[in-house]
Structure 1
Amino acid sequence: MANLSNGGDTKHIIQIPEIKFTKLFINGQFVDAISGKTFETIDPRNGDVIARVAEGDKEDIDLSVKAAREAFDHGRWPRMSGFDRARIMMKFADLINENVEELAILDTLDAGKLFSMGKTVDIPGAANMLRYYAGAADKIHGETLKMSREMQAYTLREPIGVVGHIIPWNVPSGIFFMKVSPALAAGCTMVVKPAEQTPLSALYYAHLSKLAGIPDGVLNVITGFGSTAGAAISSHMDIDKVSFTGSAEVGRLVMQAAARSNLKTVALELGGKSPLIIFNDADLDQAVELALLANFLNKGELCVSGSRVYVQEGIYDKFVKLAAEKVKMWRVGDPFDSQVQQGPQASKEQFDKVISYIEQGKREGATLLAGGKTCGDKGYYIEPTIFTDAKDDMVIVKEEIFGPVMSLMKFKTVEEVIERANNTKYGLAAGIVTNDLNLTNRVSRSIRAGVIWVNCYYGFDNDCPFGGYKMSGFGRELGLHCLDQYLQVKCVVTPLYNSPWL
């Protein structure tokens, strides 16, 4: 058991726990991969190996799908009342809360996420998401239909079957439960593949699901690589639906594999290059704070990051000056330090990718206002970076960087900024900063994106549907609409008594 000081605060010492769960979780048991292979999961704070984790492959996916199929076709979970499923999901949520510190530590070690945010936001939020969908489990209703002929009919909403969930590495706990919670409430069984960069908390959640009473085979967790285990999920003939969050490039591969196999339904939450539009009447201090938050929260590793910041010409110069001052106070460092605002990028691969984009921005002629360099002599730390004089046709403005890089641009008119904001292949989110209600309504209805945040950013809530337009994907996470993705609609029709159909 190692000790790590929390930002020099001697009153609080973080206890780094022993890593308990490193094997695949299939049919209620932790097991080695059939091949016996393992892979390293790396601490992005220093590049050290945290643990070796079982490397699942196609054969392991086959075993887990077999278990999930048996649990769906013959098991208790789909046949339980919604009330009984909800009761077990509530217990699952309680167990998460009881282990919140250890789970937050795992996500900090694996993903470089801020421990303070994990402990107060991410992990409690995961538990609350379970509770939200537990509350919906016994409220899944069909309809009675008024037929135009001498018949009566009603609809049933039934679980879709075995679901494959493929999880990204940037928000390992939140997205795990964004997918698992509604699928559990609907009565589905599932195979979950967490990102190879961040497997540890997913395996811990598998352990807690067993303790909560979720039947064997309902929730299976296979750690491994996207090109093997992930591809096996997408192409598996006995999986009824795939839910994927990740890049647009991999999303295409998931769709292709689903189409070539059994035409399983697919939900995709893909990348983004979201605009943050700041008008002349905005409160300047608030606008700058929102821009820093929109770009540098979670080290910019969020698909909805507002990395295209359009500032109206009347306040542009003041905005640039204030942003340059405030970004100097943005603290980068050990994510276990409670005073730090930005930890390391989640992996060496992502670190190198972000640095390459920063160099690309310099070559394209954007002006480096702040940052642009690495921090420290070990680990994957990058300074919060702001470019000015950016142009819409620059690579740093067009492509998703997934790192702490902001592109600042000036605009004149409302018509101009709407056109420029929509000039992207993505459409996941957008932000508007103004005190003009008419302007808010006009712009929010004109931007082609799945969620619009006005005078705020990252306004997520369990009750608020989330998803994208265009190449940001399709389908919606969160909200009660999300349940529809895990349900089939069946219509039952019978003739009325003494009708000619008898």
Structure 2
Amino acid sequence: MASAFEYAPAPESRSVVDIAPSYGLFIDGEFTDAADGKVFKTVSPSSEEVLSEVAQAGAEDVERAVKAARRAFEKWSALPGSERAKYLFRIARIIQERSRELAVLETLDNGKPIRETRDADLPLVAAHFFYYAGWADKLDHAGYGANPRPLGVAGQVIPWNFPLLMLAWKIAPALATGNTVVLKPAETTPLSALFFADICRQAGLPRGVVNILTGYGDAGAALVGHPDVNKVAFTGSTAVGKAIARQIAGTDKRVTLELGGKGANIVFDDAPIDQAVEGIVTGIFFNQGQVCCAGSRLLVQESVQDEVLHALKRRLSTLRLGDPLDKNTDIGAINSAEQLSRITALVETGEAEGAERWSAPCELPSSGYWFAPTLFTNVTQAHTVARDEIFGPVLSVLSFRTPDEAVAKANNTQYGLSAGIWTEKGSRILAVAGKLRAGVVWANTFNKFDPTSPFGGYKESGFGREGGRHGLEAYLDVR
């Protein structure tokens, strides 16, 4: 008799998405080659298969894109909000219509499981465009004064962990408020942004309102530093965020930075253990832990630590790692060889420093970039794995005795993006949440998002908020 229920493979068909052998830059409503003709390849991290060849933007291409956005700004910003809303609603509906295609594309290019792209990413992408479409004709009532004006051209640089969702977080409020956009996606995940460019054309968006530049860090730096860019929005690593802050210091550019995190997931002794374990798994193993607000530090009250760890290890042993296109897969591929190398190095450091490693028993595929779900016990505040953002499926477990100790340990980090609290007492939730220095605090859940809620952090997790009414402010001249 089998000891566990066996799943038959259930792969999503790749035939729903048609990936071209090559793509150009999207500038002024047209796809075009890079000025110097350079290209690079985008690879599927689960198989190392080359998916397509993509144009590599340089400084001259940045100049062309910013000029196109500046030309488009005059007419776009002059449109009534109700007219801009029509385009945003149209984009949202097309995203819904093409959601299956986009989910498969995102899974191929990023490596995350199809269940996540299909059930989490794509519904949220459409929801953000619907939400900000609703704000486009109500800006006078957003709390930023009468007749708030757009800033101009927004230069936006997004990461590889949620390529299409981060695009929506940035483009939707920018367009709703009357700005035009030049966006640079991450070099490892350019395809969904290029497909979004096609959606803009399908929606009839005026030329130049959205421009997409694929390329490397030099293109992002040129975009951030361009003198005719009025607003910079960046999501990514703290190191790059600091470099951007230095680059624009002394200019009049507005900026929002959403950077790294080392979120604490706090489990009290009265928490529902099974529910908490599911929240812990969602907090750190969703998207292979490649989430800035991941609950990568687990703080467990000492009296229930053994019980929680036993239940957690049992749950991790049931997670299925493998083909991201299989609808049964829980853990997909790490996004790149570079990221896998970083995760591996930090885990080795954790072991060398004396923390006790446990990895879920699973067979890793022979090709692609993979890392088994892992947790560390016997961790102290001094361990590297408790301080540094690993950005992978690695959980550090610490214990506490009192609520004050939990708060002190949770706040003992250079980051301040997210936290979670697990307890049946509402009074304890409110008391502890008020003391946590984190931009988002979840109660008896984790990694739940909504376009109406603001998101952002403190300290080295950046500044500014995206989402909700607060997300409008970064794109409006409210002085």
Compute the TM-score of the two structures, normalised by the length of structure 1: 0.91
Counterpart of 1:51 in structure 2 is 52
Larger Rg: 1
> Are 1:18 and 2:13 an aligned pair?
no
Deviations 1:94-139 (A, max 9, x none): 1111211221111111100211221232122211210100000000
Structure 2 segments unaligned to the other structure (5+ residues): 1-6
Check conservation: 1:161, 1:240, Cα contact below 8 A: yes
SS in 1 for 2:303: coil
Counterpart of 1:493 in structure 2 is none
Counterpart of 1:249 in structure 2 is 239
Q: How does 1:379-394 map to 2 (within 5 A)?
A: 379-394=368-383
- Which amino acid in the other structure matches residue 229 of structure 2? I
Counterpart of 2:258 in structure 1 is 269
> How many angstroms apart in 2 are the aligned matches of 1:488 and 1:53?
35
Deviation at 1:144? Answer: 12
> How many angstroms apart in 2 are the aligned matches of 1:238 and 1:24?
20
> How many angstroms apart in 1 are the aligned matches of 2:18 and 2:448?
35
Q: How does 1:82-97 map to 2 (within 5 A)?
A: 82-97=81-96
SS in 2 for 1:382: coil
Deviation at 1:415? Answer: 1.2
Q: How does 1:34-49 map to 2 (within 5 A)?
A: 34-49=35-50
Counterpart of 2:282 in structure 1 is 293
Deviation at 1:374? Answer: 7.6
Deviations 1:145-173 (A, max 9, x none): 9xxxxxxxx84300011000100000001
Counterpart of 1:424 in structure 2 is 413
> How many angstroms apart in 2 are the aligned matches of 1:176 and 1:7?
35
Gap change, CA 1:301 and 1:230, over 3 Å in 2: same
Check conservation: 2:317, 2:361, Cα contact below 8 A: no
Gap change, CA 1:360 and 1:143, over 3 Å in 2: closer
- Which amino acid in the other structure matches residue 18 of structure 2? E
Counterpart of 1:194 in structure 2 is 185
Gap change, CA 1:414 and 1:62, over 3 Å in 2: same
Check conservation: 1:61, 1:232, Cα contact below 8 A: yes
Counterpart of 1:231 in structure 2 is 221
Counterpart of 1:218 in structure 2 is 209
Deviation at 1:58? Answer: 1.0
SS in 1 for 2:266: strand
Counterpart of 1:65 in structure 2 is 66
Counterpart of 2:456 in structure 1 is 467
> Are 1:184 and 2:205 an aligned pair?
no
SS in 2 for 1:446: coil
> How many angstroms apart in 1 are the aligned matches of 2:270 and 2:358?
24
> Are 1:340 and 2:341 an aligned pair?
no
Check conservation: 1:143, 1:155, Cα contact below 8 A: no
Counterpart of 1:367 in structure 2 is 356
> How many angstroms apart in 1 are the aligned matches of 2:455 and 2:153?
23
SS in 2 for 1:431: strand
Structure 1 segments unaligned to the other structure (5+ residues): 1-5, 146-153, 491-502
Residue in structure 1 matching 2:475, options 459, 464, 486: 486
Gap change, CA 1:14 and 1:39, over 3 Å in 2: closer
- Which amino acid in the other structure matches residue 245 of structure 1? T
Deviations 1:441-486 (A, max 9, x none): 1110000000100000012111110000111000000001111110
- Which amino acid in the other structure matches residue 66 of structure 1? K
> How many angstroms apart in 2 are the aligned matches of 1:295 and 1:140?
37
> How many angstroms apart in 1 are the aligned matches of 2:362 and 2:260?
25
Counterpart of 1:407 in structure 2 is 396
Gap change, CA 1:453 and 1:142, over 3 Å in 2: closer
> How many angstroms apart in 2 are the aligned matches of 1:376 and 1:142?
54
Check conservation: 2:313, 2:360, Cα contact below 8 A: no
> How many angstroms apart in 2 are the aligned matches of 1:144 and 1:165?
25
Deviation at 1:7? Answer: 6.1
Moved more, 422-431 or 289-298: 289-298
Counterpart of 1:111 in structure 2 is 110
Counterpart of 1:148 in structure 2 is none
Gap change, CA 1:142 and 1:382, over 3 Å in 2: closer
Higher fraction of strand:
1
- Which amino acid in the other structure matches residue 139 of structure 2? I
SS in 2 for 1:49: strand
> How many angstroms apart in 1 are the aligned matches of 2:421 and 2:39?
46
Check conservation: 1:166, 1:194, Cα contact below 8 A: yes
Deviation at 1:59? Answer: 0.8
> How many angstroms apart in 1 are the aligned matches of 2:219 and 2:420?
36
> Are 1:164 and 2:155 an aligned pair?
yes
Deviation at 1:93? Answer: 1.1
RMSD: 1.8
- Which amino acid in the other structure matches residue 150 of structure 2? P
> Are 1:308 and 2:297 an aligned pair?
yes
> How many angstroms apart in 2 are the aligned matches of 1:7 and 1:219?
43
Gap change, CA 1:345 and 1:471, over 3 Å in 2: same
Counterpart of 1:3 in structure 2 is none
SS in 2 for 1:453: strand
Check conservation: 2:154, 2:179, Cα contact below 8 A: yes
Counterpart of 2:4 in structure 1 is none
Check conservation: 1:156, 1:489, Cα contact below 8 A: no
Deviation at 1:372? Answer: 9.0
Counterpart of 1:208 in structure 2 is 199
Gap change, CA 1:252 and 1:13, over 3 Å in 2: closer
Gap change, CA 1:144 and 1:33, over 3 Å in 2: closer
Check conservation: 1:142, 1:157, Cα contact below 8 A: no
Deviation at 1:267? Answer: 0.4
Aligned residues: 472
Counterpart of 1:283 in structure 2 is 272
Deviation at 1:376? Answer: 2.1
> How many angstroms apart in 2 are the aligned matches of 1:336 and 1:373?
18
Gap change, CA 1:59 and 1:373, over 3 Å in 2: farther
> How many angstroms apart in 2 are the aligned matches of 1:202 and 1:14?
18
Gap change, CA 1:291 and 1:142, over 3 Å in 2: closer
- Which amino acid in the other structure matches residue 91 of structure 1? R
- Which amino acid in the other structure matches residue 36 of structure 2? S
- Which amino acid in the other structure matches residue 18 of structure 1? D
Deviation at 1:327? Answer: 0.7
> How many angstroms apart in 1 are the aligned matches of 2:365 and 2:271?
36
Deviation at 1:417? Answer: 1.2
Check conservation: 1:372, 1:382, Cα contact below 8 A: no
